[in-house]
A and B are shown apart, each in its own frame.
Chain A
Amino acid sequence: MWAIYRKEIIAFLSSITGYLVISVFLVLLGLFMWVFPDTSVLHYNYATLAQLFDLSPFIFLFLIPAITMRTFSEEFQAGTIELLSTKPLTDFKIVMGKYLAVVSLVIFALLPTLLYFYSIYDLGSPRGNIDTGAVWGSYFGLVLLGATFSAIGVFASSLSSNQIVAFLLAVVLSFLLYLSFQYLSKLPVFYASIDDSIQSMGMEYHYASLSKGLIDSRDLIYFFSLIGFFLFCTQIKLSSRRW
């Protein structure tokens, strides 16, 4: 598994994709957080990282599928899946190796934003006047969100040998699971009856809950089940050639 992991990481870092994804993420985020006056913290007068945590999911929504789209599609396209599958590796290890590599890259992209946290922490008046608990909770939620998008993306990539198809599928699936339940719950039929249950089926609800700085086991179970479910589906898809 670690052989695959290593290979995937090297593939990201020796090609333009890895750097491009990380730079795009940081540039967009930096612009919104520090430059554009409408959203800039500097004009907001509160020492908060809310912008970072509100925007990142939307950037992830497009960037993570861009990272994951090649994971399996490329192997199918080039036929190298036959090479991997006839080595002494279980399908599970192939999936996990690739998945963990993607998650590592996502975490890697998030690391520089700790600098934003330090800046705000330092700029606060008095110094350190920031809700640290909420920040760490939000980071935790963001990593889980990224990890879930990654699992969805890896699964989408295993469905097609065409990378564009894999990308679009991943974006749509991620969007549906992230936000659609939030919007669906606004339908008049659900209003004041089960709208809360419907909201809790979407990722946004659990992400928001973690952002408050409260790490609730229900949110963890939700994210880990989604990740487990999509990785399991990926493995099933890979093994389906045996049917």
Chain B
Amino acid sequence: MSIQVHELTKIYGEQKALDNVSFSIPEGEVVGFLGPNGAGKSTCMKILTAFIPPNAGRAEVAGHDVENESLELRQKVGYLPEHNPLYLDMYVKEFLHFIARIHQLDRPQLRVREMIGITGLDREENKKIGSLSKGYRQRVGLAQAMIHDPEVLILDEPTAGLDPNQLSEIRKLISDFGKNKTVLFSSHIMQEVQAICDRVIIINKGKIVADENIDLLSRNRDDTEVVRLKLKEAVSRKQLESIPEVKNLTVNGESYELVFDSNSGGVEKVFQWVNENRFTVLHLERKESSLEDIFQLLTKES
């Protein structure tokens, strides 16, 4: 196991930021850590990178305990803190050299060159970090986190505040790295997690509310199947109701939404019905329940 968290609890004053959290991540897996702001994502990551200790519970990263073997742990973990703090008056190359020296790498020059290449900072290497755009700063942040080729990468909101182009570039960097390393990254955007990884851990108010494959997540929590249909011919409501097992239907001008019980094969039934009546289909799809809906369902105020 690359990351093993056992009954972790962190209390700030009166507030429980983490409440008995347990999960484990095997080597080489990319996992999204999801939750609304203030759910405890950052706190958990700070504990995993040995920045702050937990009040109770144990956590192990790359085989090292966060409290007793924190120096060894920090050697094997790459961390991008929230808001990506950097020394704004340092030059990109200078900064990466500094980090390489802290890690006491054998050939810092070579490694810095390599990281600049990997993160696409070639044209910015002689600029001050303070003069870079947010997307490039994020690359510098990722470069410093990955410079010592860590076993585990922990990224706290690596894509916050980026524009769509920058977003897909950073996502690509993370997925590339995740091909042979363990990555835990946090986000509050569901689509993003879906784009990068398969497994998601959702946390709310310090408690884990879901920990599973992202596709199962939507399927397991959905008890209806909605089919969208658009036909060339005009059909009456009555005709639509004749489709077997339709529970509900809405008509939106030319297109219809038909609701079935989940696992009742709604799309097949509609297709058969269309065939039997020899209509011309313009559009037929199963509407996936949006990930946002599930996220809200899991994390809404209770």
**Interface of A toward B, CB cutoff 8 Å:** 2-4, 6-7, 10-11, 14-15, 78-80, 82-83, 85-90, 241-242
Question: By the criterion CB–CB under 8 Å, are B89 and A11 in contact?
Answer: yes
Stretch of B23-31, B73-81, B225-233, B238-246 at the chain-chain interface: B73-81
Q: Which chain B residues lie closer than 8 Å to A85 at the CB level? A: 51
Question: By the criterion CB–CB under 8 Å, are B81 and A82 in contact?
Answer: yes
23 A/B residue pairs, CB under 8 Å, sorted by A: A3-B98, A3-B102, A7-B87, A7-B98, A10-B94, A11-B87, A14-B89, A78-B86, A78-B88, A79-B81, A79-B83, A79-B85, A80-B86, A80-B87, A83-B81, A85-B51, A86-B50, A86-B77, A88-B71, A89-B74, A90-B71, A241-B51, A242-B53
Nearest Cβ distance between residue A55 and chain B, in whole angstroms? 32
Instruction: Tell me the chain B residues, 95-121 only, with Cβ under 8 Å from chain A.
Output: 98-99, 101-103
Q: Which chain A residues lie closer than 8 Å to B87 at the CB level? A: 7, 11, 78, 80
Does B186 count as interface, using CB distance less than 8 angstroms?
Answer: no
Q: Known contacts A3-B98, A6-B98, A241-B52; can you find 12 more A-B pairs with CB under 8 A? A: A4-B102, A11-B87, A80-B87, A82-B51, A82-B81, A85-B51, A87-B74, A87-B102, A88-B75, A88-B103, A89-B74, A89-B102
Bound CA span A242–B103, Å? 23
Q: Which chain A residues lie closer than 8 Å to B103 at the CB level? A: 87-88
CB-contact partner of A15 in B85, B86, B89, under 8 A:
B89
Question: By the criterion CB–CB under 8 Å, are B102 and A78 in contact?
Answer: no
By beta carbon, the residue of chain A nearest B78 is A86
By beta carbon, the residue of chain B nearest A79 is B85
What's the tally of chain B residues with a CB closer than 8 Å to chain A?
27
**Interface of B toward A, CB cutoff 8 Å:** 46, 49-53, 71-72, 74-75, 77, 79, 81, 83, 85-90, 94, 98-99, 101-103, 144
Bound CA span A47–B177, Å? 69
Q: Which chain A residues lie closer than 8 Å to B85 at the CB level? A: 78-80, 82-83
Nearest Cβ distance between residue A69 and chain B, in whole angstroms? 16
For the residues of A in contact with B, the DSSP-based class is helix
Q: Which chain A residues lie closer than 8 Å to B52 at the CB level? A: 241-242
Q: Which chain B residues lie closer than 8 Å to A80 at the CB level? A: 85-87
Query: Given A7-B98, A242-B52, A242-B53: A86 and B81 within 8 A (CB)?
Result: yes
Q: Which chain A residues lie closer than 8 Å to B99 at the CB level? A: 87
Residue of A7, A78, A88 with highest tally of chain B CB at under 10 A: A88
Bound CA span A15–B49, Å? 32
Residue of A2, A3, A4, A80 with highest tally of chain B CB at under 10 A: A3
Bound CA span A15–B144, Å? 23
Nearest Cβ distance between residue B113 and chain A, in whole angstroms? 18
Q: Which chain B residues lie closer than 8 Å to A87 at the CB level? A: 74, 99, 102-103
By beta carbon, the residue of chain A nearest B67 is A242
Bound CA span A83–B102, Å? 11
CB-contact partner of A88 in B83, B86, B88, B102, under 8 A:
B102
Nearest Cβ distance between residue B239 and chain A, in whole angstroms? 63
By beta carbon, the residue of chain A nearest B50 is A86
Q: Which chain A residues lie closer than 8 Å to B81 at the CB level? A: 79, 82-83, 86
Nearest Cβ distance between residue A7 and chain B, in whole angstroms? 5
By beta carbon, the residue of chain B nearest A93 is B102
Bound CA span A132–B230, Å? 101
Q: Which chain A residues lie closer than 8 Å to B83 at the CB level? A: 79
Residue of A7, A14, A87 with highest tally of chain B CB at under 10 A: A87
Q: Which chain B residues lie closer than 8 Å to A10 at the CB level? A: 94
Question: By the criterion CB–CB under 8 Å, are B89 and A3 in contact?
Answer: no
Bound CA span A241–B46, Å? 11
Question: By the criterion CB–CB under 8 Å, are B102 and A6 in contact?
Answer: no
By beta carbon, the residue of chain B nearest A3 is B101
Q: Which chain A residues lie closer than 8 Å to B90 at the CB level? A: 7, 11
Bound CA span A193–B50, Å? 54
Bound CA span A14–B94, Å? 12
Q: Which chain A residues lie closer than 8 Å to B51 at the CB level? A: 82, 85-86, 241
By beta carbon, the residue of chain B nearest A242 is B53
Bound CA span A79–B46, Å? 13
Q: Which chain B residues lie closer than 8 Å to A6 at the CB level? A: 98, 101
Bound CA span A88–B88, Å? 22
By beta carbon, the residue of chain A nearest B45 is A86
Nearest Cβ distance between residue A171 and chain B, in whole angstroms? 25
Q: Which chain A residues lie closer than 8 Å to B49 at the CB level? A: 86
By beta carbon, the residue of chain A nearest B48 is A86
Bound CA span A10–B103, Å? 19
Bound CA span A241–B87, Å? 21
